[in-house]
Amino acid sequence: MGMGVDVHGGDYTKAACRAVSDALRHSSLNFFKALGKSHNDMHITVKIGVAEPDRVDCEQVAAQVPYGSVKVEPSMGGMDIDSADGSDTLVIANAGILVHFEE
């Protein structure tokens, strides 16, 4: 799991990409050899939570994951924080990365 923030600009994709990067730094998969699998055998689902899911560029978020086949599923979540004068929005995104293999 990870969290990403776009502090200025209200960019949901930027926040989502940062959340994926954070999630990847918090994970370690070391069972490939035991299963006879490679990194490219992974099927990955990236779940993104933001206040406006339709504003996430799923292809750009998927490109953050270096291996496997990647599917991005944006949904309601995260948080928006508007500036006092309403001229800027801080966007917080959450990411969960699920990995599975075909048998």
* 51, 79 contact by CB (below 8 A): yes
Question: Which residues are 50's β-sheet partners?
Answer: 76
What is the pairing mode between strands 69-76 and 43-50?
parallel
Question: What single-letter amino acid sits at 32?
Answer: F
The total number of structural domains in the chain stands at: 1
Instruction: Return all residues near 53 (Cβ < 8 A) that are at least 6 apart.
Output: 12, 74, 75, 76
- pTM greater than 0.95 (yes/no): no
Model confidence pLDDT, tens digit, residues 38-65: 788 889 999 999 999 999 999 999 999 9
Question: Which residues are 80's β-sheet partners?
Answer: 91
What SS3 state is found at 84? coil
- Locate 52 and state its tokens: 């406006």
pLDDT at 36: 79
| Average pLDDT value over all residues in the chain | 92
pLDDT at 56: 98
* Residue 57 structural domain: 2-28+37-100
CA distance 78 to 94: 6
DSSP structural state of residue 64: T
**Domain with 77 in it: what CATH number?**
3.30.1330.20
